[in-house]
Amino acid sequence: SDIIGCAQTGTGKTAAFALPILELLASEPIINKEEKQDKKHKGRKKPIRALILSPTRELAQQIGDSFTAYGRFTGITNTVIYGGVAQSKQQQALRNGVDVLVATPGRLLDLMNQRIVSLSSVSIVVLDEADHMLDMGFIHDIRRIIDTLPQKIGRAHV
């Protein structure tokens, strides 16, 4: 189900969504549809299972740092992608496979258009600071991203 939360800075909003996501992902087996269809290519990268969208690179990096700290002993991996920097390191991290992707909408769409990112296995989506993303004009980007998500998580009406 959908949840909306509001609180002051420094009250633990990131932990409020990161900890349950880490717990859920740690308890669920990885289901990679591509691997099921093509068993001869064992060892494929793990699919992105959770997507966190953030309006700015600074916030995205903070969220990524939180997931790294909170998930330190879980085996759950994450990476952060955002614009304004060369994308080669980000591409390599995605090629290696990540469970949690923290991204700004623009760079995510760029990588999706280049077919570097697939959201076909995403089952959890968080729009962090959604009000700021909408104020910054990301509504069309968010709609495009949501339209690519699997049907099983439903469609948000933004």
What would the pLDDT profile of 79-122 be if each residue is shown by its tens digit?
999 999 999 999 999 999 999 999 999 999 999 999 999 999 99
* pTM, two decimal places: 0.83
24-63 pLDDT tens trace: 999 986 655 544 443 433 445 789 999 999 999 999 999 9
Q: What angle do CA 88, 101, 106 make, to 5 degrees?
A: 65
- Report d(CA 17, CA 20) in Å as an integer: 6
